[in-house]
Every structure is written in structure tokens, then in C-alpha cells.
């Protein structure tokens, strides 16, 4: 791996998911969830950074700050991103896409995530409905209709 800490690699990975953007806060790079403003930052303690811990500012609120496991956050956020991409038709096969991104996370960070296959299959009609609703909500967000 490079000169970056595990926490930094996790933050950079999160920032590249659909629901995130990279944001600099107090000379610290963070991943901000665009849906609610939650911000994931590297902790100031170097040992915590090497252990992959992140500081979470829930909804961006300084008074609602806690230390969380970066790998647990990544597992949840990867699944959320894949479900979004499958719903809008950018990816096919939820389970395969999750497994692929978990492997990509391991390649980028050096950490493994816990992937468990799920037998649940979303019916195509429900996927189309979610896709239509997602697109409609996105247009309203961007255009303000």
C-alpha cells in the first residue's frame, strides 16, 4: 500500500461511491454523504487511522460526532450504492455487483469486507418502479420541480 493510512484509503473509497463527494474540512479530507450531509473523516490519532477508524459527523453536525469502524461503514455504503446503481440500471445483478465492489475495496484499501450471499431477488417490475421513482426524485432535486 502507499503512504496513506487505512482510514484515508477508506475515506477516499467512500468518496467515490454514488452517494458521496470528497470534502475538505479543517485540512482533513472527508467523504460527505450527499443525501443527508453525514461526513466521515480520518481521526486525529495516528493509531486510530492505522486501525481504520473514522470520525462520523452525523448529518454534518459537530455535536453529533462519534468514532466508527471504517470497514463496517464501507460495507453498508457499498450495498446502498449498488442498490442505487441496480435500481437505475447502471449495474445488473445486485449480489454480483456487491461482491465485485467488496473485492475492489480490498484491492484499494488492503482490508477485507464480509460478503454474505443473499438469496433475495427483487422482481423486475419492482426494480422498474424503483428506477422510475429514483429518476423522478433526482429530476426534482436537480431541477426543483
**3 state SS of 53:** strand
- pLDDT exceeds cutoff 70 at 83: yes
pLDDT digits (tens, 9 = 90+) for 97-111: 999 999 999 999 999
- Alpha carbon distance 79, 100 (integer Å): 11
Report d(CA 144, CA 76) in Å as an integer. 29
pLDDT of residue 36: 92
Using only C-alpha atoms, what is the Rg of the chain?
A: 16
Give residues with Cβ within 8 angstroms of 58, minimum separation 6. 38, 64, 65, 66
For strands 65-69 and 53-57, give the pairing: antiparallel
Collapsing DSSP to helix, strand or coil, 133 comes out as helix
Longest dimension (CA), the chain: 49
pLDDT band, very low/low/confident/very high, at 3 (cuts 50, 70, 90): confident
pTM for this model (two decimals) = 0.76
- Is-contact 6 113, C-beta < 8 A? no
What is residue 23's DSSP assignment?
E
The answer on pLDDT for 123 being more than 60 is no
d(CA 56, CA 121): 32
Amino acid at each position: 500500500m502507499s503512504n496513506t493510512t487505512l482510514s484515508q484509503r477508506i475515506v477516499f473509497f467512500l468518496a467515490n461511491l454514488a452517494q458521496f463527494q470528497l470534502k475538505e474540512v479543517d485540512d482533513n479530507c472527508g467523504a460527505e454523504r450527499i443525501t443527508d450531509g453525514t461526513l466521515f473523516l480520518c481521526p486525529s490519532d495516528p493509531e486510530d487511522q492505522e486501525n481504520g477508524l473514522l470520525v462520523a459527523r452525523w448529518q454534518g453536525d459537530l455535536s453529533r460526532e462519534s468514532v466508527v469502524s471504517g470497514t463496517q461503514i464501507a460495507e453498508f455504503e457499498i450495498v446502498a450504492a449498488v442498490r442505487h446503481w441496480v435500481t437505475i440500471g447502471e449495474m445488473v445483478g445486485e449480489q454480483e455487483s456487491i461482491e465485485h465492489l467488496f473485492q475492489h475495496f480490498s484491492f484499494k484499501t488492503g482490508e477485507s469486507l464480509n460478503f454474505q450471499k443473499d438469496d433475495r431477488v427483487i422482481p423486475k417490475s419492482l426494480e422498474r418502479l424503483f428506477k422510475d421513482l429514483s429518476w423522478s426524485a433526482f429530476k426534482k432535486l436537480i431541477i426543483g420541480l
